[in-house]
Structure 1
Amino acid sequence: MTNVYFVRHAEPDYNVRDDFARPLTKKGKEDAKLVSSYLSDKDIHVVISSPYLRAIDTVKDFAGEVGLDIKIVDDFRERKVGNVWIEDFNSFAKKQWEDFDYKLSDGESLREVQNRNIKALNEVLRMYEGKNIVIGTHGTALSTIINYYDSTYGYDDFERMKLIMPWIVKMQVKKDRCINITKIDILNGGRSL
């Protein structure tokens, strides 16, 4: 059995519009300590992250505490919306969830994000079969992964999750089959959602 703990990043500083370099807020940095606490007894063998700063910084303290390097996997990055700042992000997100192929001319569709993330995940599962893995990730990227294994997960679920930062989703995988998905709200004592 392979256990994958996806860690959706803690609260980012939206005043920084550079998606790649957007840091965590002070609260986000404090909440990242909850991630470390939750993962401390999970016998983690490898820590992987998206290349985006907020994802790395959410798992960095934990990796340091257990003496693991963070392996960066570019394909776990968040969806590219486009080269413009979207003021009405909710309408844009809803349209993408209604049509998995919808995208701006210089952005990615949810199908493209899902394909990219699942390809990266399958590679990780091959490399670390039977291990306990942490993957620092993002809300939309993680939502498309959940949707791949559970097609009932859609826009309404994404909306409910949107403000939960950080958020942990544990997937148990046997060979190439996901047999269980547990959504964990570490801000509320680590209870399952």
Structure 2
Amino acid sequence: MRIGFIRHGSTSWNKEKRAQGRSDIHLDHGGRKDAAKLAQHLDHDKWDIIFSSHLARAKQTADIIAEKLGIDVMIDQRLREAGGGMIEGTTEQERINKWGERWRELDLGIEAEELVVARATEAINEFQRTYQDKNILIVSHGSFLRHFFKDVLPALNHDSHLYNTSLTILEKQDEGWKHEVYNSTAHLNQ
């Protein structure tokens, strides 16, 4: 089984560097265009089903890909972005102005990493059991995916953000997960 993990296309808030969290922001023009490029790239491989977060930016990305590949999109709320609490909609500078340089140390209602990893693991384990012989695409969000990847691919450097419409392909093996590609945006250059 191969699973392709995709971060949604870009939004206006991405470009403004605003924390999106669970705010339901739509793709911008560039996000739709990049999702179409990714769909074209994925069309060279066999994918059987797409699971997507219910948030608009992920669902729109999944819909663009599914239309090109001729496959169904299944919504799973466990794939939603990590909750951003009080920082949603703010830029880094706005957070510093409001809560100071050490805002990350405050309890601002941000969903804990271990909770994100737990729901990601639950969903992905269920997909594996139910669709054992299928190749699956999952469209989700930057923090959600980064937390999951830190857990299952600890040897990789996870300091940088995942790019919009980036593709990471993992293969489940007896000893754990092996990555085929990680945070790839090669499709944007085609």
The TM-score with structure 1 as length reference comes to 0.79
Partner of 1:11: 10
- Could you say what secondary structure the match of 2:160 adopts? helix
1:76 aligns with 2:79: yes
Asked whether the 8 Å contact 1:82–1:104 carries over to 2, the reply is: no
In the superposition, relative to structure 1, how do residues 83 and 105 fare at CA in structure 2: closer, same or farther (>3 Å)? closer
Asked whether the 8 Å contact 1:35–1:58 carries over to 2, the reply is: no
Residue segments in structure 2 that go unaligned for 5+ positions in a row = none
Distance in 1 (alpha carbons) for counterparts of 2:106 and 2:68: 40
Structure 1 residue ranges, 4+ long, deviating more than 6 angstroms after superposition? 15-18, 89-92
Structure 1 segment 30-69 matched on structure 2, within 5 A: 30-69=33-72
Measured on the aligned residues, the alpha-carbon RMSD in Å equals 3.0
- Could you say what secondary structure the match of 1:156 adopts? coil
Which of 139, 148, 151 is matched with 2:151 structurally? 148
- Could you say what secondary structure the match of 2:170 adopts? strand
The residue type equivalent to 1:129 in the other structure is: Q
In the superposition, relative to structure 1, how do residues 29 and 188 fare at CA in structure 2: closer, same or farther (>3 Å)? closer
Asked whether the 8 Å contact 2:21–2:82 carries over to 1, the reply is: no
In the superposition, relative to structure 1, how do residues 179 and 83 fare at CA in structure 2: closer, same or farther (>3 Å)? same
Distance in 2 (alpha carbons) for counterparts of 1:110 and 1:117: 11
The residue type equivalent to 1:185 in the other structure is: T
- More displaced 10-residue stretch of structure 1: 14-23 or 65-74: 14-23
- Could you say what secondary structure the match of 2:171 adopts? strand
Asked whether the 8 Å contact 1:7–1:134 carries over to 2, the reply is: yes
1:130 aligns with 2:94: no
- Could you say what secondary structure the match of 2:11 adopts? coil
Distance in 1 (alpha carbons) for counterparts of 2:129 and 2:72: 19
Structure 1 segment 164-183 matched on structure 2, within 5 A: 164-174=163-173, 177-183=176-182
Partner of 1:87: 91
1:84-129 per-residue CA deviation (whole Å, 9 max, x = no partner) reads 434328989x987xxxxx7735331111111111111111111111
Aligned residue pair count: 179
In the superposition, relative to structure 1, how do residues 75 and 27 fare at CA in structure 2: closer, same or farther (>3 Å)? same
Partner of 1:185: 185
Distance in 2 (alpha carbons) for counterparts of 1:65 and 1:114: 30
- Could you say what secondary structure the match of 2:82 adopts? coil
Residue segments in structure 1 that go unaligned for 5+ positions in a row = 97-101
Asked whether the 8 Å contact 1:49–1:136 carries over to 2, the reply is: yes
The residue type equivalent to 1:12 in the other structure is: T
Shift of residue 154, structure 1, vs aligned partner: 5.5
- Could you say what secondary structure the match of 1:61 adopts? helix
Asked whether the 8 Å contact 2:50–2:138 carries over to 1, the reply is: yes
The residue type equivalent to 1:174 in the other structure is: Q
Shift of residue 74, structure 1, vs aligned partner: 0.6
